[in-house]
Chain A
Amino acid sequence: MTATKFTNDHEWIRIEGDTATVGITDYAQQQLGDVVFVELPDVGKTLERGKDAAVVESVKAASEVYAPIDGTVTEVNPALTDDPATVNTDPHEGGWFFKMKVADPTQLDALLDETQYKNMIAELH
């Protein structure tokens, strides 16, 4: 089963079995502008929900990307190191940041679904 959830901080997380893929939303990449650099976590690193997991930078801004849930990094997206612009052109697919092994699936319940997230960003305008 595949389900995509969202955080208030504009990360998305897609669940497949006990693995989750994490990236930043289209809204987030628009706020950043042209992405010039992405710093990804080391594979094997233990991530804690709400704590720094990655960094994404444009010319004018630097942002921490937070771990949406607890877990361990299993894979990072090598495409972002070579071509960080992928975050702008394809934020929800090719622009994923890292994959993690989910530590506690119940934490997903606290995240937003797509409708809730869309409503939230609608209110930001």
Chain B
Amino acid sequence: MRYLPLTDDDRKGMLARIGVSSVDALFADVPEAARRKGKIEGLPDHAGELDVERQMKALAAKNMPAGSVPFFVGAGAYRHHVPAAVDHLIQRGEFLTSYTPYQPEVSQGTLQYLFEFQTQVGLLTGMEVANASMYDGSTGCAEAVMMANRVTRRSRAILSGGLHPHYAEVTRTQARWTNFTAIDAPADVEGKEDLAALVDDQTSCVVVQNPSVYGHVRDLSALAEACHAKGALLIVVVTEVVSLGLLTPPGEMGADIVVCEGQGIGNALNFGGPYVGLFATREKYMRQMPGRLCGETVDADGKRGWVLTLSTREQHIRREKATSNICTNSGLCALAFTIHLSLLGEAGLTKLARINHATAIAAADRLAKVPGVTVVNDSFFNEFTLRLSRDAASVTETLAARNILGGVPVSRLIAGQPQLNNLLLVAATETTTDDHIEALAAALKEIL
């Protein structure tokens, strides 16, 4: 077997050194009733690389890759072009097959890119400090609310109706089982909600997404002021990180915590994971942050280097008093993010964001001309909401049958609200061509 170096002769010699006659003897502590004789049944034996490749390719072939068709699906995961250099670098074994940098002397590569990552996240979000990543945006959102509860010593969070429904569900689940209150505002399809009136002396935080899940872009400064006036924190969620290349960052709008899904830079769609959660806050709240942090220091020779720091917040030291139970993060996805953002640079990201916005404007204007289609949004970044003349879920199925992935029906995200059934979220990125937009418009014209 190709991954197992021991030979039968090796095994014999090793058993002799140990002083037992068989490997079975090493499992003597297993209770008799739980010991299995022979292999577990109903499972195939080992297979060669060619054979496994055939099996996996057969499964992959049953899916419709985004790159093979006109593609407009977003709602929290976005298809962007990732330069070839990114995947080349993250597949270097020194990055791919290393562990958490617990021995900093031989982990400076990982630590330095985490420091660069934290800096980039701070710059992008307009915040002072960032951690070394969370699992993804949705879990980061729930962690942000729990952090706000710690900071304010309150336990009532208000969730915007423009927050991604999965993020709201993850946060509600945490609320339900870790005993805090999450209040859901109604679905904010039009982008008109005003949450300021809901903030009171019991509110720990308001969670608002920008652009919202329906695509609306808003200045949140007034909401931030309303939160601060009541001693609450403003948490801003960004699910499309590329938008930060165009829009005023949440930090400049007064956000206290910014949570971002970083997938859109450096990472493939991957059917939902692994992604990378960006988590940034104000310096004064640094010690209430969850997750790993990398900090600068010097070594015994006085040379600059990096270490994991402020670990006393974390579970491996603080145990039941930790700020979070998180251990593993999204290191390699954070590396992909960092490399892609280094390739883009200031000029590249700014331009990429402009291209996305311009493409979305072209798509919105073209689709608005299709009978039975209304564009809901006045403002957006690269995704907007359409109101169709019929049920959006069946429309996307019909489009898929014509090899067009036309967007996300809102009913897929929010169940049991028939008034949302005709809404379709449509995203366009730099990968979207005029032909794609034309194909979607033509197909919708026929279907509606």
Binding site for B on A (CB under 8 A): 37, 39, 57-62, 64
Contacts and interface: CB of A to CB of B under 8 A. Distances in A.
Contact of B317 (A37, A39, A61, A64): A61
B318 interface: yes
Contact of A61 (B287, B312, B321): B312
Nearest to B311: A59
Contacts of B318: 62
Chain B, interface size category, equals under 10
A107 to B, nearest CB: 26
Interface of B: 287, 311-312, 317-318, 321
A57 B312 CA distance: 7
A37 B287 contact: yes
15 contacts: A37-B287, A37-B312, A39-B287, A57-B312, A58-B312, A59-B311, A59-B312, A60-B317, A61-B312, A61-B317, A62-B312, A62-B317, A62-B318, A62-B321, A64-B321
A84 B311 CA distance: 17
B312, B317, B318: which has the most chain A beta carbons within 10 Å? B312
Name A's interface SS: strand
A59, A60, A62: which has the most chain B beta carbons within 10 Å? A62
A64 B321 CA distance: 10
Contacts of A37: 287, 312
A57 B311 CA distance: 10
A53 to B, nearest CB: 14
B296 to A, nearest CB: 15
A72 B55 CA distance: 70
Contacts of A57: 312
Nearest to B317: A62
A57 B317 CA distance: 11
Nearest to B313: A62
A39 B321 CA distance: 14
A21 to B, nearest CB: 25
A55 to B, nearest CB: 9
A37 B318 CA distance: 14
Given A37-B312, A59-B312, 13 more contacts: A37-B287, A39-B287, A57-B312, A58-B312, A59-B311, A60-B317, A61-B312, A61-B317, A62-B312, A62-B317, A62-B318, A62-B321, A64-B321
B312 to A, nearest CB: 4
The 7 closest A-B pairs by CB, nearest first: A62-B312, A57-B312, A62-B318, A62-B317, A61-B317, A61-B312, A60-B317
Contacts of B287: 37, 39
A39 B318 CA distance: 15
Nearest to B309: A59
Nearest to A64: B321
A111 to B, nearest CB: 25
Contacts of B317: 60-62
A58 B317 CA distance: 11
Contacts of A39: 287
Contacts of B321: 62, 64
A101 B311 CA distance: 34
Contacts of A59: 311-312
A61 B321 CA distance: 12
A64 B287 CA distance: 15
Nearest to B322: A62
A26 to B, nearest CB: 21
A47 B287 CA distance: 23
A78 to B, nearest CB: 16
Nearest to B307: A59
B332 to A, nearest CB: 27
A109 to B, nearest CB: 31
A57 B287 CA distance: 12
A60 B287 CA distance: 15
Contacts of B311: 59
Nearest to A52: B321
A62 B311 CA distance: 9
A74 B312 CA distance: 28
A13 to B, nearest CB: 24
B104 to A, nearest CB: 12
